[in-house]
Chains A and B, each alone.
Chain A
Amino acid sequence: SAVISQKPSRDICQRGTSLTIQCQVDSQVTMMFWYRQQPGQSLTLIATANQGSEATYESGFVIDKFPISRPNLTFSTLTVSNMSPEDSSIYLCSVVREPQGTQYFGPGTRLLVL
């Protein structure tokens, strides 16, 4: 398995502001992902965080709204920009542990936008 931490664990923010979420892994990993889970819904993949290059975004998600950094193989950040109440969700990072290829998820960041 992998030990993954996220900061903050939860936050309440005002609309129009931005929040940066951090994801730290206990060892180097090649692949990291960011997911969103809206209230009462399943998880949706936002993007793949690539080390040394721009993130790869899924349909419906854009870099201006969700900029992602991946400065090294153990750390990534996701910023939720210009927030609105519709951005209220749980945001989760995950990593792939090789060679099994299984994903392990962080505890999530609970965001409420007022």
Chain B
Amino acid sequence: DAKTTQPPSMDCAEGRAANLPCNHSTISGNEYVYWYRQIHSQGPQYIIHGLKNNETNEMASLIITEDRKSSTLILPHATLRDTAVYYCIESGTYKYIFGTGTRLKVLA
């Protein structure tokens, strides 16, 4: 079973920030949090990952709580092309267990 829990769906207005939460309350000290997205049955696309510090790249920001039990992926200015299923994964061994993810719909 997946070790992370995410809301099944979210809507976001185009141009606004999309904040996608993830709970990973059983994460252990050497496990990273990874975020991927899958656009209409294409292969999942890597977005960002982190261990305990907040991270930012050209696609998104990742905010990890101090106790590491949850995180939030932030897409700062969502576009229609960001409509996808977003997966949060915790892993320390390269083996990924995918949950059901969050289906993000960006609305015009």
- Check: A101 CB closer than 8 A to any chain B CB: yes
| B72 CB, min distance to chain A CBs, angstroms | 19
**Chain B interface category by residue count:** 20 to 34
- Check: A67 CB closer than 8 A to any chain B CB: no
Question: Does the CB pair B41–A108 fall under 8 Å?
Answer: yes
In the assembled complex, the Cα of A110 lies from the Cα of B41 at a distance in Å of 9
Number of chain A residues whose Cβ lies closer than 8 Å to a Cβ of chain B: 24
Give the chain B neighbours of A44 by CB distance below 8 A.
98
Question: Does the CB pair A106–B100 fall under 8 Å?
Answer: no
The residue among B43, B44, B99 with the most chain A CB atoms within 10 A of its own CB is: B43
| A109 CB, min distance to chain B CBs, angstroms | 10
| Contact indicator per residue, chain A 94-105, by CB within 8 Å of chain B (1) or not (0) | 101000111111
Question: Does the CB pair A105–B43 fall under 8 Å?
Answer: yes
**With A42-B87, A42-B99 known to touch, is A102 a contact of B41 (CB < 8 Å)?**
no
- Residues of chain B touching chain A, judged by Cβ–Cβ distance below 8 Å, are 2, 32, 34, 36, 41-46, 49, 87, 94-101
Q: Which 4 A-B pairs rank lowest in CB-CB distance, beginning with the nearest? A: A105-B43, A43-B98, A42-B98, A105-B44
> Given known contacts A44-B98, A102-B34, A102-B49, what 9 new A-B pairs fall within 8 Å (CB)?
A33-B95, A33-B96, A42-B100, A43-B98, A100-B49, A103-B94, A104-B46, A105-B45, A107-B43
